[in-house]
Copies of this chain bind each other. A is one copy, B any other.
Amino acid sequence: MKNFFVKDSLVQIGKDVTVYGWVSNLRDHKKIVFIDLRDSTGILQVVGDERFRDLHPEDVVKISGTIKKRPEKLINKKVETGEIELQAKDVEVLSHADTLPFDMGKEDLEVTLPTLLDYRSLTLRHPKVKSIFKVQEALMDGFRKISKSLRCTEVIVPEITITATEGGAEVFGFDYYEHTASLTQSPQLYKQMVIPALERVYLIAHAYRAEPSVTTRHLAESVQMDCEFGFVEFEELLDLLEKVAVETIAHAEKACKKELKEHNVSPVLVGKIPRLTLKEAQEVIKKETGRNVVGEKDLSPEDEVDICKWAEKEKKSDFVTVTHFPTRKRAFYTMPDPKNPELSLSYDILFRGLEIASGSQRVHEYEKLVKTIKDRGMNPDDFEMYLMAFQYGMPPEGGFSFGLERLTKTLLQLPNVREAALFPRDMERVDVRLSKKRKK
């Protein structure tokens, strides 16, 4: 079994080692051949003889040799292993690769988005593409760590549901043993239902939206990172939201220094996070940009960018919290503000120009919840199991939900959220382009 990785070579100067990996680049100088050997941890320069001339990009190889310091003038400060190289003795090809459709050896991949996705099983190997998913892993780890420290229990909730409970956005419905079921739009209702058992929970779950939209920020299948807390009030929820946002990103910053540097991500500014109501945010935007958006029911993508610019400039914060969105614009379980029921005890947190999480204090009283469901034209019978949790004693509670791909996109400033999913699903694609497939 492979027990030596490229990264390990940094502390093995003078040692004989065996490295397994992929041929990333090949520079043929006739008697001497230079290979960039890639594995999951980095790239190592290999100096080989004529036998290496027959290798091809992406061939899987096993190379034995000695780790040496490079001559001073050949040091490459841009790479982690730029001061060393492997003087090869033996090479064995474990698996041959077909001729590549494009050059994978450049520092930037430089392909269009369709090509990036059409060849996903190949392009994921590129160090800069792969690093997106190391950062994504760190965001999940960071989220779990802070959630656990807040005494949340991790739960698994179902993704098959019996009715489109959130209304509004379209759902994927299907035959389920002679009944109609659908893919869940959100783990929301289930995380609330377990509060009376576990009090504080977190989850990482898939959510499905059949919206016929092709924007840079929507996926048909996406991943949410959610928390829900019993026995909390609104102001405490804002503290929790900000704490989880900041700590999740801080963990990724710390764990993925190399990857964030590759993507030219500047250090995250965390000062005191400004908290504004939607109205206050709109007034700031008006004052800063001249665009009058006061009275709009939500922030537009442009508004999100503008309010974040203001927070960065004026408050030295990459985060902004916006509260009190109109009650009618939020989901039925959102608690109206007792001081002004037209507005709700809801919040979004924005990070570097994009909303990355959303949430609210919830309606926790059974009768009020039933009334709200009816008022919105829905049938309480469709919410039997959900309402049962409230019928038998639900404490004041609330929570929030982060979009994992969005968070990854924003932190790495990727142009499109599809780049932040290993195999993105949208209107046009399920692995391969749908246009290549026969319609049903």
| A residues adjacent to B (C-beta < 8 A) | 1-2, 5, 20, 22, 39-40, 58-60, 94-98, 100, 119-122, 124-125, 129-130, 133-134, 136-137, 140-141, 151, 153-162, 172-181, 183, 190, 193-194, 196-200, 206, 208, 210, 212, 220-221, 223, 229-233, 236, 364-366, 384-386, 388-389, 391-396, 404, 421-425, 427, 430-432, 434, 437, 439-440
Nearest chain B CB to A359 CB, angstrom units: 15
Question: Which residue in B154, B385, B424 is a CB contact (below 8 Å) of A120?
Answer: B385
Given A221-B160, A422-B156, are A1 and B231 also a contact pair (CB < 8 Å)? yes
Question: Which residues of chain B have C-beta atoms less than 8 A from A5's C-beta?
Answer: 151
Question: Which residues of chain B have C-beta atoms less than 8 A from A151's C-beta?
Answer: 5
Question: Which residue in B122, B220, B395 is a CB contact (below 8 Å) of A94?
Answer: B395
Given A39-B199, A98-B392, are A422 and B194 also a contact pair (CB < 8 Å)? yes
Question: Which residues of chain B have C-beta atoms less than 8 A from A193's C-beta?
Answer: 120-121, 124, 423
Nearest chain B CB to A335 CB, angstrom units: 14
Q: Which residue of B lies closest to A199 (CB)?
A: B40
7 closest cross-chain pairs (CB), A and B: A174-B174, A2-B231, A97-B393, A40-B199, A385-B431, A121-B388, A121-B389
Cα distance A198–B199 in the bound complex, in angstroms:
37
Question: Which residues of chain B have C-beta atoms less than 8 A from A208's C-beta?
Answer: 160
Contact assessment for B162 and A133 in the assembled complex, using a CB-CB cutoff below 8 Å: no
| Residue with the greatest number of chain B CB neighbours at <10 A, chosen from A180, A181, A230, A392 | A392
Contact assessment for A60 and B190 in the assembled complex, using a CB-CB cutoff below 8 Å: no
Contact assessment for B159 and A122 in the assembled complex, using a CB-CB cutoff below 8 Å: no
Cα distance A95–B231 in the bound complex, in angstroms:
11
Contact assessment for A158 and B395 in the assembled complex, using a CB-CB cutoff below 8 Å: no
Nearest chain B CB to A379 CB, angstrom units: 12
Cα distance A230–B40 in the bound complex, in angstroms:
10
Contact assessment for B155 and A198 in the assembled complex, using a CB-CB cutoff below 8 Å: no
A interface: dominant SS:
mixed
Nearest chain B CB to A216 CB, angstrom units: 18
Question: Which residue in B95, B119, B174, B196 is a CB contact (below 8 Å) of A388?
Answer: B119
Cα distance A20–B172 in the bound complex, in angstroms:
40
Given A158-B221, A162-B437, are A197 and B40 also a contact pair (CB < 8 Å)? yes
* CB-defined A-B contacts under 8 Å, sample of 16: A2-B199, A95-B394, A96-B393, A98-B392, A119-B388, A120-B388, A121-B196, A121-B386, A133-B155, A158-B422, A158-B424, A159-B206, A160-B172, A160-B425, A176-B210, A384-B432
Contact assessment for B95 and A384 in the assembled complex, using a CB-CB cutoff below 8 Å: no
Cα distance A198–B134 in the bound complex, in angstroms:
9
Question: Which residues of chain B have C-beta atoms less than 8 A from A200's C-beta?
Answer: 40
| Residue with the greatest number of chain B CB neighbours at <10 A, chosen from A40, A183, A391 | A40
Nearest chain B CB to A368 CB, angstrom units: 11
Question: Which residues of chain B have C-beta atoms less than 8 A from A59's C-beta?
Answer: 393
Question: Which residue in B137, B178, B198 is a CB contact (below 8 Å) of A440?
Answer: B178
Given A151-B5, A392-B97, A422-B156, are A430 and B176 also a contact pair (CB < 8 Å)? yes
Nearest chain B CB to A421 CB, angstrom units: 8
Q: Which residue of B lies closest to A196 (CB)?
A: B125
Cα distance A412–B415 in the bound complex, in angstroms:
48
Question: Which residues of chain B have C-beta atoms less than 8 A from A153's C-beta?
Answer: 40, 133-134, 137
